[in-house]
Structure 1
């Protein structure tokens, strides 16, 4: 699965405001049908109120947002699950793509992926997913989600450069352990991410 070049994403969950501009920009550029989301912004919330015993309460309520797309993993389980070879990883840039002429829409890749990246286009009966805006990248541009981020919470580049700049953390609760797929993203975790957040689903658009 190793590629000669590997691009990846950096996500700063302490900066993301949850505006969903990245999600909308991606959906608009790719003219997606209702319910198909290659990039999703999840809100995680937790904490509560504790009675102090003197008719007062102390609270530790918090919320934070995580922008999640395909992480173009080094060990993509979607590729392993695909029975036709339609799902594949490119050596030239490390992007995981779908060759739709080979796709039978069985959704095996979607069931395997812990990040819900592959999305079924029910009308065409083929799988779709984030392609890293490879056509933009080939022209020296950034993926549309990164360019559209109003708070600059997203960054894109060679994963080795992102890790040198931001470290190598690829885990943020309550997303699955990065050891499953070796995702090519770096995450700056929110200060409260270890407190047991629960997910609030994204709105269907």
Structure 2
């Protein structure tokens, strides 16, 4: 707020996984800043600095943020969806709930769909409960066999079913509940059991259909162009998709 003589000139950058406390601007202006010691506040921008922002690298992103809308931006930020590099976004105004996407996923993965077609939403945008292939995948921390890892070609997060022991560590650590424990089946579709005839569980999640030449089956199966996998840090892609 330059008119009040206080302007933010620095931002917080974090290496690794973190939780962030969001304080509304109105609260900062009316409660926090008036009581803050003057020597701790950054120097305000000068009039010359405010008039010459054409080279600001954030200016373009700010314009895209306006196109996307403040409510959607707040929703994506509060839910940490910017951590995902391949988030499943559904346009609720186009989606007819036909579940063709779910059936396509199941057909590609031995009748075991790797995502759920529901999740938090804001306005017309819903983020489905599917692996987002995070920039900082905390699900990989603590896997005793290294079964969940980044594949070499694209860096996507995948699970090696041969080395997964079903310990649920990755499933418990995923903050988006995108990893499910399911009963393992053999090549003929029969359940696999241990020596005591108990079902053997394996961790499963979206693998972006890495073995499919056409990309994610869910996205290709949607007859209404209502579903897309995208990196939400690219606000331009999101804005264009919403404006199509």
The residue that corresponds to 1:164 in the other structure is 236
Q: Distance in 2 between matches of 1:110 and 1:64?
A: 25
For residue 224 of structure 2, what is the aligned residue in structure 1?
151
Cα distance 1:166–1:128, how it changes in 2: closer, same or farther (>3 A)? same
What's the offset of the Cα at 1:24? 1.6
The change in CA–CA distance for 1:166 and 1:27 in structure 2 (over 3 A counts) is same
Greater helix share, 1 or 2? 2
* Equivalent in the alignment of 2:75: none
What is the TM-score when the length of structure 2 is the normalising length? 0.49
Greater Cα offset, 121-130 or 94-103: 121-130
Supply the distance in 1 between the matched residues of 2:219 and 2:162 (Cα, whole angstroms). Answer: 29
Do 1:120 and 1:128's aligned partners in 2 also have CA atoms closer than 8 Å?
A: yes
**Deviations 1:20-40 (CA, angstroms, capped at 9, x unpaired):** 22112101221235xxx4111
C-alpha deviation, 1:85, in angstroms:
1.0
Q: Distance in 2 between matches of 1:90 and 1:32?
A: 23
Equivalences, count: 143
Structure 2 segments unaligned to the other structure (5+ residues): 1-83, 185-199
Match of residue 32 from structure 1: 111
Question: Of 167, 176, 180, which residue of structure 2 is paired with 1:106?
Answer: 167
C-alpha change, 1:76 and 1:153, in structure 2 (3 Å) is same
Unaligned regions of 5+ residues in structure 1, if any? Answer: 1-5, 46-61, 168-186, 189-205
Work out the CA distance in 1 between the residues paired with 2:86 and 2:124: 25
Q: Does 1:22 align with 2:101?
A: yes
Q: Please show how residues 85-100 of structure 1 align to structure 2 within 5 Å.
A: 85-100=146-161
1:10-159 correspondence to structure 2 within 5 Å: 11-14=89-92, 15-32=94-111, 37-42=113-118, 66-123=127-184, 124-136=200-212, 139=213, 141-156=214-229, 159=231
What is the match of residue 36 of structure 2? Answer: none
Q: Choose which of 86, 98, 101 in structure 2 pairs with 1:8.
A: 86
Q: TM-score, normalised by structure 1?
A: 0.57
Work out the CA distance in 2 between the residues paired with 1:68 and 1:130: 10
Seen in structure 2, the aligned counterparts of structure 1 residues 113 and 161 have a Cα distance that, compared at 3 Å, is closer
Compared CA separation, residues 11 and 65, structure 1 to 2 (3 A): closer
Cα distance in 2 between the residues matched to 1:80 and 1:43:
24
Note if contact 2:91-2:227 (Cα within 8 Å) is conserved in structure 1: no
SS at 1:72 equivalent: coil
- The structure richer in strand per residue is 1
**Backbone CA RMSD of aligned residues:** 3.4
In the TM superposition, what whole-angstrom CA distance separates every residue of 1:100-123 from its partner, at most 9, and x where no partner exists?
222110011111112222222324
